Amino acid sequence: MSKAKIAPSLLAADFGNLQRDVEMVNKSEADWHHIDIMDGVFVPNISYGMPVVKAISKHATKPLDVHLMIVDPDRYINTFAELGATYLTVHYEACTHLHRTIQAIKAAGMKAGVALNPHTNVNLLKNIIKDLDLVLIMSVNPGFGGQSFIENSYEKIRDAKELIKMNESKALVEVDGGVTIKNAKALIKAGADVLVAGSFIFKSGDPGTTIKELKAATDK
Ligand code: DX5
Ligand code: ZN
Q: Return the CATH number at 98.
A: 3.20.20.70
Question: In this structure, which residue's CA is closest to atom 6 in ligand 1?
Answer: 142
**Could you tell me if 77 and 99 are in contact, meaning their C-beta atoms sit under 8 angstroms apart?**
no
The pLDDT score that the predictor gives to residue 1 is: 54
CA of 149 to the centre of ligand 2 (A): 13
CA–CA separation, 5 and 29 (whole Å): 9
- Total domain count, the chain: 1
From 86, 96, 39, select the one nearest 60 (Cα to Cα).
86
The pLDDT score that the predictor gives to residue 218 is: 87
CA of 170 to the centre of ligand 2 (A): 21
The pLDDT score that the predictor gives to residue 3 is: 85
CA–CA separation, 173 and 116 (whole Å): 11
Q: What is the pLDDT of residues 120-141, one digit of tens each?
A: 999 999 999 999 999 999 999 9
**Could you tell me if 165 and 199 are in contact, meaning their C-beta atoms sit under 8 angstroms apart?**
no
Domain that holds residue 165: 5-216
Question: Against a cut of 0.90, is the pTM above it?
Answer: yes
The pLDDT score that the predictor gives to residue 190 is: 97
Q: Apex CA 136: angle with CA 2 and CA 216, to 5°?
A: 30
Asked if ipTM goes beyond 0.90, one says yes
- Which protein residues are within 6 Å of ligand 1, measured from CB? 9, 11-12, 34, 36, 67, 140, 142-143, 145-147, 176-179, 196-200
Low-confidence ranges of the chain (pLDDT < 50): none
| Active site (catalytic) residues | 36, 176
